[in-house]
Amino acid sequence: MRIGVVGDVHLAFDAIDVERLDALAYTAILFVGDIAGYFERGGLETARVIAQLSTPAIVIPGNHDAAHVGQMAAEVLEAEALVGLMNVGQPGRERALADALSPAVLAGYSRHRLDDGERTVDVIAARPHSAGGPRLAFRPHLAAAFGVEDFEDSRRLIEARVAESDADDLIFLAHNGPTGLGARRDDIWGCDFRDSEGDFGDPDLEYAIGDARELGKPVRAVIAGHMHHALRGGGLRPWRLERDGVLYVNAARVPRIFEQDGRTLRHHVELIVDADRVRAREVLTS
Ligand SMILES: [Fe+2]
């Protein structure tokens, strides 16, 4: 099975992307989120372009999605009182995003069956709106929509989706990757914007993956983004890593549409799911 992965979009997705990606005839296309920039309206316009895909698409929302600029600022500043205030209107913003994306599916704590006639793959969508690190972002929304108050609740909800799966393979889809893969600025989900560096992964995701493996579930890959490839202060982080038979992909090449040698290039990642392993390669279409 071949699956397309689109990293943090941040408004860079247009009709040419729709044509190119549909032409590649993937079984499905996974979006790791952050469709929007800093304004909800731009995100909705881009979501309506994603809706034009003929290929089935699954989108996990990022910390920029269905949010407004004050909300993102409150989350970054960890101003809890403001976070609560800014959550007003969140159900409407979620509905507007889901409507704009449809028939592409807005995911989160959900399971999505892919079937190409040869094998079945369940995509387990983890926590929506992750902003990475040790703080639970969009907490009022997670509590109201999913009953999730903390990382432990979140871990249990991801596990519930895993437990009900009987697919040949499992692929996790998240906005941000798991903890446990390195604590330096240039690690796959390492913190490059604080002098202290650190592991900026999602702990609930790491534990849910570990639990899935303990249950004997066929975890093949974990797909996420959020921590952009280009590092603050220079350099690039690795975009993939294989550990204990699981492939981890950080698809956040930002901007995903860029100029090189006078040509416009468009980035995505191709996943190839074989009987016992998943491979990934970066694809640049013009
Ligand atoms: Fe993000």
Q: How far is the CA of 227 from the centre of ligand 1 (A)?
A: 7
Spatial CA neighbour of 62 closest among 199, 183, 193, 228: 228
The average confidence (pLDDT) of the chain is 96
Q: For 142-160, what is the mean pLDDT?
A: 98
Q: How far is the CA of 193 from the centre of ligand 1 (A)?
A: 14
What is the pLDDT at residue 78?
85
CA–CA separation, 280 vs 286, rounded Å? Answer: 19
Domain CATH number, residue 177: 3.60.21.10
What is the pLDDT at residue 84?
87
pLDDT band at 68 (very low <50, low <70, confident <90, very high): confident
Our count of domains for the chain comes to 1
Q: What is the largest CA-CA distance in the chain?
A: 51
Q: How far is the CA of 117 from the centre of ligand 1 (A)?
A: 34
Q: For 102-125, what is the mean pLDDT?
A: 97
Query: What's the predicted TM-score (pTM) here?
Result: 0.97
**How does pLDDT run across 160-211, given as a tens digit for each residue?**
999 999 999 999 999 999 999 999 999 999 999 999 999 999 999 999 999 9
Q: How far is the CA of 166 from the centre of ligand 1 (A)?
A: 31
What is the pLDDT at residue 23?
98
What is the pLDDT at residue 244?
94
Is the pLDDT reported for residue 81 higher than 90? no
Residues with Cβ within 8 Å of 151's Cβ and at least 6 positions away in sequence, in order, are 136, 203, 204, 207
Distance of CA 281 to the CA centre of its chain: 17
CA–CA separation, 128 vs 130, rounded Å? Answer: 6
What is the pLDDT at residue 270?
98
Strand, helix or coil at 144? helix
Q: How far is the CA of 185 from the centre of ligand 1 (A)?
A: 16
Strand, helix or coil at 27? coil
Q: For 131-141, what is the mean pLDDT?
A: 95
Strand, helix or coil at 142? helix
Q: How far is the CA of 118 from the centre of ligand 1 (A)?
A: 34
Q: For 265-286, what is the mean pLDDT?
A: 95
Beta bridge partners of 263: 260
pLDDT band at 139 (very low <50, low <70, confident <90, very high): very high
Supply the range of the domain harboring residue 33: 2-285
Spatial CA neighbour of 158 closest among 101, 219, 91, 102: 219
